[in-house]
Amino acid sequence: METANEIKSEAPMEILFVDDEVNVLHSLRRLFMDEDYEILVANSGEEALEILKVNSQIGLIVSDQRMPGLTGVDFLEQAKEIVPDALRILLTGYADINAVADAINRGGAYRYVTKPWKDEELLQVIGEAAQHYSLRKENKRLNEIVKKQNLELKNWNSQLEFFVQEQTLEIQKKNKELEGLNENLKRNFKNSIRAFSSLLELRDRKTGSHSKNVAEFSVKIARDMNLPEKDRETITVAALLHDIGKIGIPDALLLRDFDDMDKGAKKEFMLHSVRGQAAVDSVEDLRPAGILIRHHHEWLNGHGYPDGLSGGKIPIGARIIAVADFIDNTIRELDRDGAFEIALDKVRNWLGTRFDSQLYPHIEKEIKGVYSKILPQGKIRMLEVELNVNDIKEGMILSRDVNSGTGLILLSRGTILNTKSILALRRYYQLDPSRTGIFVAVER
Ligand SMILES: [Fe+2]
Ligand SMILES: [Fe+2]
């Protein structure tokens, strides 16, 4: 980039004198002989114009007013068009005040000098004009540099802006990709928990799709209570895995009813909530759910286990899972029409002692959505038909649990089929084909 401090090679200023009298031109040449100017002369305005056309670097024009042909004013006016930057001075007689005014107004004259001139005065005027001219020229040069630098800055700025925009786009793109990956991870994590929960149920066949039901019911209650989404997710996970600690309990014990167990067996069984928390503790994301798993058998009055917490000290998620767990167990044991009415009745009796009363309105509101779809075995007022997995359709109701070939419960009795579950079933039937078809209820 050019800078203002750059060294300029300063050529002497060129001055053009115009006068029809040769003597005048001679004396002017003589006067400026020792000065550092380049002198050009012309005998008429017309000749001077020709000279200007090929000498655009002329800095000062000094013209007589009274000349045959073009007058000084007319000449200066035309000269202004050819070399607009040159300074113009008019030489004129005393009486010619009109010519002076014209020279200034039309010819853009910088000064006028009266004839006959005093040498010192003319030298001084020309000297000042030369200084003025070179200052103006320098000013112009500096302005050009500033303009050029501004333009370069502007270019840099727009380039910078472009780079910033490009980078922002790149970052946004990467963020989107990360978001996508994150979503994938989350989905995989959730699917893994569901798969794991199904595996648990595979072992404890007595409970069927217990964890799934408890999860569905708990999350409905939580949503009805307007609990934040994060809490609802934790509750879902905890409900799906609430009995994971039963993995450590021997099969023989697991098949017995809690009330029929002796003291030692009960003690062993009661360890499952703490073991459950310990089992998930190594996965950091599962720790909040682990806390709910630990406390899903606490009672509101502090008579529950493992820690005997009471009231608000029991996490709300654990209070919800506790009641959903109780209701699902009760309904499954009864396995008949109106089972959920009886379950509700039992819950009402435990309000304030075992269960949290503030949950009851939400339980009452949501219970039908979870359990009315379950058709008690032997009480079906509908015909049951066995269909090939490729023949099931949306809206059909399962009349039996659907198990995979190796016994995994895929969907529970009462489920209403939708596109997603149908696709999942078809996929399972390819991977792990069941020996039976799918039993659905049709009206008699
Ligand atoms: Fe439990
Ligand atoms: Fe349970």
What are the extents of the domains in the chain? 13-143, 205-372, 375-444
Cα 426 from Cα 404, distance rounded (Å):
11
User: What is residue 430's predicted lDDT score, i.e. its pLDDT?
Assistant: 87
Q: How far is the CA of 141 from the centre of ligand 2 (A)?
A: 90
Q: How far is the CA of 399 from the centre of ligand 2 (A)?
A: 23
Burial (CB count <10 Å: 0-12, 13-18, 19+), residue 404: middle
Which of 439, 424, 440, 431 lies closest to 405, judged by CA? 431
Tokens of 158: 């727009």
User: What is residue 177's predicted lDDT score, i.e. its pLDDT?
Assistant: 92
Which ligand lies nearest the alpha carbon of 209?
A: 2
Label residues 241-258 b or e (16+ Cβ within 10 Å = b).
bbbbbbeebeeeebeeee
> Homologous superfamily of 13-143 in CATH?
Response regulator (3.40.50.2300)
Label residues 350-376 b or e (16+ Cβ within 10 Å = b).
bbeebbbeebbebbeebbeebbeebbe
Q: How far is the CA of 355 from the centre of ligand 2 (A)?
A: 15
Q: How far is the CA of 207 from the centre of ligand 1 (A)?
A: 11
Which of 18, 126, 31 lies closest to 72, judged by CA? 18
Q: How far is the CA of 333 from the centre of ligand 2 (A)?
A: 13
Cα 274 from Cα 277, distance rounded (Å):
5
With the C-alpha atoms ordered 122, 128, 132, 133, is the resulting torsion angle positive or negative?
Answer: positive
Cα 108 from Cα 434, distance rounded (Å):
107
Cα 233 from Cα 115, distance rounded (Å):
104
Residue 122, phi-psi category: left (phi > 0), alpha (psi -120 to 50), beta (remainder): alpha
Which of 159, 162, 153, 63 lies closest to 109, judged by CA? 63
User: What is residue 377's predicted lDDT score, i.e. its pLDDT?
Assistant: 45
Give the three-class secondary structure for 59: coil
Q: What is the pLDDT along the chain (444 residues), one digit of tens a residue?
A: 444 444 444 688 999 999 999 999 999 999 999 889 999 999 999 999 999 999 989 999 999 999 999 999 999 999 999 999 999 999 987 767 788 888 788 878 888 888 888 999 999 999 999 999 989 889 999 999 999 999 999 999 989 989 999 999 999 999 999 999 988 888 888 888 877 777 777 666 566 678 888 999 999 999 999 999 999 999 999 999 999 998 878 877 877 888 888 888 899 999 999 999 998 888 888 999 999 999 999 999 999 999 999 999 999 999 999 999 999 989 888 877 778 889 999 999 999 999 999 999 999 999 988 876 554 443 434 567 889 999 998 888 888 888 888 877 788 877 788 888 898 888 888 888 888 889 887 754
> Homologous superfamily of 205-372 in CATH?
Hypothetical protein af1432 (1.10.3210.10)
Q: How far is the CA of 199 from the centre of ligand 2 (A)?
A: 15
Q: How far is the CA of 186 from the centre of ligand 2 (A)?
A: 25
Q: How far is the CA of 241 from the centre of ligand 2 (A)?
A: 9
Which ligand lies nearest the alpha carbon of 271?
A: 1
Instruction: Examine domains 13-143 and 205-372 and report if their fold is the same.
Output: no
Q: How far is the CA of 203 from the centre of ligand 1 (A)?
A: 15
**Amino acid, single-letter form, for residue 29:** R
Residue 307 DSSP code: S
- Give CA angle at 183 (180, 189), nearest 5°: 145
Label residues 295-313 b or e (16+ Cβ within 10 Å = b).
bbbbbbeeebbbeebeeee
Which stretches does DSSP call E strand in 93-232? 111-114
Query: Which residues neighbour ligand 2 (ion) by CB within 5 Å?
Result: 243, 325
Which ligand lies nearest the alpha carbon of 215?
A: 2
Q: How far is the CA of 424 from the centre of ligand 1 (A)?
A: 29
**Amino acid, single-letter form, for residue 283:** V
Q: How far is the CA of 388 from the centre of ligand 1 (A)?
A: 36
Q: How far is the CA of 441 from the centre of ligand 2 (A)?
A: 28
Which of 158, 161, 157 lies closest to 169, judged by CA? 161
Q: How far is the CA of 17 from the centre of ligand 1 (A)?
A: 116
Query: Which residues neighbour ligand 1 (ion) by CB within 5 Å?
Result: 243
Q: How far is the CA of 241 from the centre of ligand 1 (A)?
A: 9
Q: How far is the CA of 294 from the centre of ligand 1 (A)?
A: 9
Which of 374, 386, 382, 393 lies closest to 442, judged by CA? 382
The model's pTM: 0.56
Which ligand lies nearest the alpha carbon of 273?
A: 1
Which ligand lies nearest the alpha carbon of 270?
A: 1
Cα 197 from Cα 218, distance rounded (Å):
15
CATH 2.30.30 fits 375-444, yes or no: no
